[in-house]
Amino acid sequence: MNVFEKKRLFGLAIFFFLLVPLVYSQQGKVEEAIKKKEKVERSYEKAYEKARKKTIKHRTEIQTKETRKSMKEAEKRAKQYNRQGKKCFLEALFDRKKSKK
């Protein structure tokens, strides 16, 4: 190896040693930005749910007592109707399907 090739290899080695930390630092910044974005999205979802619950509560509060009672009964009937045909969680989990012969 002559002197020129040694200098060239030394220069490449220094270049790669300087390049590697830059790549990792950028990767960390990207992950940090992603986490920040997810945090903002979670806060928006939390605010939406809070506003939604407040709206639902307000809707029931503005009704008369008789109307609230009928709304509660209607909700109860709707839950019963929608739950029909659904198996219990444990039944569905341990339900064995019959093999076709």
Q: Which residues contact 66 (CB under 8 A, 6 or more apart)?
A: none
DSSP 63: S
Are 87 and 95 within 8 A, CB to CB? yes
Mean pLDDT of the chain: 83
The Cα–Cα gap between 51 and 45 comes to 10
pLDDT of residue 97: 67
The Cα–Cα gap between 6 and 13 comes to 10
pTM of the complete model: 0.47
pLDDT in tens, 50-97: 999 999 999 999 999 999 999 999 999 999 888 887 777 777 777 766
